[in-house]
Amino acid sequence: MDKPLALPIQKIITESERVKTYVFDYDFPGEPGQFVMCWIPGFDEKPFGIIKKEGKGFRISVAAVGDSTKAMHMMEEGDLLGFRGPYGSVFVLPEKGKQIAMVAGGYGMVPLSYLAQEARKKEYKVHLFIGARNKQELLFKEWMEEIGVLVHASTDDGSEGYKGFNTDLFKSNAEKESYDKVYTVGPEIMELKIAQICWEKNIPFEVSLERYMKCGFGICGQCSVDPTGWRMCVEGPVIDGEKLKKIEEFGKYHRTASGKVEKYPWVK
Amino acid sequence: MANLSVSLAGISLQNPTILASGIMGVSASSLKFVEEHGAGAVTMKSIGPTDRTGHKNPTVYSWGEGITNAVGLSNPGAEEGAAHLEEMKKILHIPVIASCFADTVDNIAKVAEKLLEKEPLALELNLSCPNTEDDFGCMFAMDPRVTERAVTLVKKTSGKTKIFVKLSPDASNIVTVAKAAEAAGADGITAINTLSGLIIDIHTKRPILKNTFGGLSGPAIRPVGVRAVYNLYEAVKIPIIGTGGINTGEDAIEYIMAGATAVGIGSGVYYRGIDVFGKVTEEMENFMDQNGYKSLEEMRGIAHKC
């Protein structure tokens, strides 16, 4: 489906001060890792990871960070949002082995929560390293605990769990546990650290790489990465750790809406 | 085996499929990816005088029979655009066609000059983007005199680089505009750009595109493109790149029979995937083998002889 399908918001759940979840009573296709383009009429259209939970329907969770997402937070049940998709590549669970880890920074928890749910249904042992600024922003922690995920929380202010980065928590944990595969979604600096640990320890992993998108279905070229030219809306956003080695811009720079190259602040 | 190689205004192409401007052309890597999937040549995304983010999303979607877009000419500006072009020339083995646009005739000449410093084999003047009326006024390709002035100015500094002019089907008489471009020294015509259109979502009661209006492309516009090429073939001597709704080898052959020398593919990347170039080339070969054509030359403009 590539033309926006207008759907009424069935239910709005307030997750935290910054995050709301929007539930739609429509059996939209889509697997963990994939995304939809969500049209906020009059404002913008943005990619969001999808979650499916309990039977029919789907949901997206949205943090109010910019004009359009703030506008979404003003919407009410019954208001219309437009959806097209699903787009992009999917997370793949390992065929052999039974213990996996997920490292989620901030809203990276959205696609990973859907994957964690599917992994638990298939009885994988799931360790989740979730990092947020404070206790209130640890998204879906209770839900994850309810379905039997082993949650290792970390917060910047120490209001819950480990005080510091979830990457450090993961690193020390990976010394004692053996993981068949690791999945990471979050700020690119966090993903880079996890990738480096996994490469070093030879652990298979997948990362969801975010790039600015216009069409979402592979023609505008806006989300193509260097030097492979892979489109993060078609060949990505989920990229396998071995393939990721070929994406030289990973952790270094991205392209803005104009196509200009913009280096990340941590790159000297 | 049929021979699909072609000489386009003196530029040798291994096959006649050319990636149309605005598709996948943001970076050198992206165009390299297109080359790997069989294109005969690629066109970079149009470069303007300064950095532009373009319109807000929604900028592109498919409406079933075609695609509607109003990206709004996002580009990194002439300086960085020229650097991108240099990188494209360095890593690609197939011809790279540069592309530019601007708000005034003088400015398009300036952007062209910047890109021409990198000595591309060809430069396409995008005089016909339909999505920027608000800030750019009427598109140049509506008016034969403005088109002629733009081509004349650019030709002053173009040197060995071939100048192609991309025309709009929305012009009241595309043939008159093409003749003006030819008279001013254009080396080729690209026909057609997208058609201006509007699609409204009846549930939210709003135009879907943020820009309200957008350019239509895809299979729905192919008869419009074929007609334009057919008319232009009788009116100008310079080669024509037939563009608009080409998804298959048969579609491409239709354009060749109308008189196109090469074919542009844009929306086809959506309909058949990135390997559309390889697929179209193979299908053209099969058709030619089955029907006893040995070269594209034998088919070019054949529909005019009936």
- B107 CB near a chain A CB, below 8 Å? no
- The terminus-to-terminus CA distance of chain B in angstroms comes to 26
CB of B245 less than 8 A from some CB of A: no
- When CB atoms are compared, the residue of B53, B63, B210 closest to A258 is B53
pLDDT by residue (tens digit) across A55-94? 789 999 999 999 999 999 999 999 999 999 999 999 999 9
Residue B241: closest CA among B62, B45, B13, B37 = B13
Of B232, B296, B304, B222, the residue nearest B262 (C-alpha): B296
Q: How far apart are CA B181 and CA B168, in angstroms?
A: 13
Interface of A with B (CB under 8 A): 2-4, 6, 37, 39, 41-46, 80, 82, 84, 214-222, 224-231, 234, 255-261
B100 counts as catalytic: no
Q: Which residues of B touch A259 (CB under 8 A)?
A: 26-27, 45, 74-76, 84
CB distance B52–A217 less than 8 Å? no
Q: A215 and B61: CB-CB below 8 Å?
A: yes
Among B28, B33, B57, whose Cβ lies nearest the Cβ of A45? B57
- Using a CB-CB cut-off of 8 Å, the residues of chain A touching B59 are 45, 214-215, 220
Q: Helix or strand or coil: residue B176?
A: helix
Please answer yes or no on whether A258 and B52 come within 8 Å at the CB atom.
Answer: yes
The confidence score (pLDDT) of residue B135 equals: 54
pLDDT of residue A96: 81
Which residue out of A220, A223, A231 would a mutagenesis test of the B interface target, given it has the greatest number of B Cβ atoms within 10 Å? A220
Best B57, B194, B216, B275 member to test A by mutation, with max A CBs in 10 Å, is B57
> Residue A218 has which token pair?
């592979």
Examine the pLDDT at B83 and tell me if it is beyond 80.
yes
Output the pLDDT for position A122.
95
Contacts of B24 in chain A (CB under 8 A): 219-221, 224, 229, 231
Strand order in the sheet with B195-198: B60-62, B67-69, B213-217, B195-198
Q: Which chain B residues are closer than 8 Å to A255 by Cβ?
A: 26-27
Which residues on chain A are in Cβ contact (under 8 Å) with B58?
Answer: 4, 37, 39, 44-45
Q: At residue B266, does pLDDT exceed 90?
A: yes
Of A6, A43, A260, nearest to B201 by CB-CB distance is A6
Region B119-145: mean pLDDT is 81
Q: What percent of chain B stands above pLDDT 90?
A: 92
pLDDT-derived band of residue B133, with 50, 70 and 90 as boundaries?
low
Residue in A94, A103, A137, A111 with CA at minimum distance from that of residue A30: A111
The per-residue pLDDT for range B219-240, each reduced to its tens digit, is: 999 999 999 999 999 999 999 9
B162 forms beta bridges with B122
Mark out the alpha helices in B138-275 (DSSP H runs). 144-155, 174-183, 222-235, 249-258, 268-272
What pLDDT is recorded for position A56?
85
Q: What is the pLDDT of residue B142?
A: 86
CB contact under 8 A, A259 and B274: no
Task: Kindly give the parts of chain A with pLDDT less than 50.
Answer: none
- CA-to-CA distance for A65 and B105, rounded, in angstroms? 41
Split at pLDDT 50, 70, 90, the class of B128 is confident
- Asked if B215 and B198 count as a contact pair (C-beta separation under 8 A), the reply is no
Q: What is the pLDDT of residue B132?
A: 63
Q: What is the pLDDT of residue A54?
A: 79
Residue B306 scores a pLDDT above 90? no
pLDDT, one tens digit per residue, over A18-40 is 999 999 999 999 999 999 999 99
Q: Which segments of A88-179 are extended strands (E)?
A: 99-105, 125-132, 150-155, 162-163
Average pLDDT for B191-207:
96
Q: Which residues of A167-205 are buried (b: 16+ CB within 10 A; e: fewer)?
A: bebbbebbeeeebbbbbbbbebebbbbbbebbeeeebbb
Least CA distance to A261: which residue of chain B?
Answer: B76
Q: How many residues belong to chain B?
A: 306
Q: What is the mean pLDDT of chain B?
A: 95
Across the interface, which of B62, B75, B84 has its CB nearest the CB of A2?
B62
Residue owning tokens 């410093």: B117
* Cβ pair B299, B261 in contact under 8 A: no
Whether the bond into B169 is cis, omega within 30 of 0:
no
Q: Measure the CA–CA gap between B196 and A64, rounded to whole angstroms.
A: 35
Q: Give the closest of B33, B71, B208 to A214, CB-based.
A: B71
- Tell me what the mean pLDDT of segment B49-78 comes to: 95
Asked if residue A110 lies in contact with residue A27, where contact means CB atoms within 8 angstroms, the answer is no
Q: Does B272 touch chain A (CB under 8 A)?
A: no
Which positions ≥6 away from B225 have C-beta within 8 Å?
Answer: B169, B191, B192, B242, B243, B244, B245, B255
Strand partners, A239: A207
ipTM surpassing 0.95, yes or no? no
Sheet holding A125-132, edge to edge: A162-163, A150-155, A125-132, A99-105, A181-185, A205-208, A238-240
Please check whether residue B31 touches A, CB under 8 A.
Answer: yes
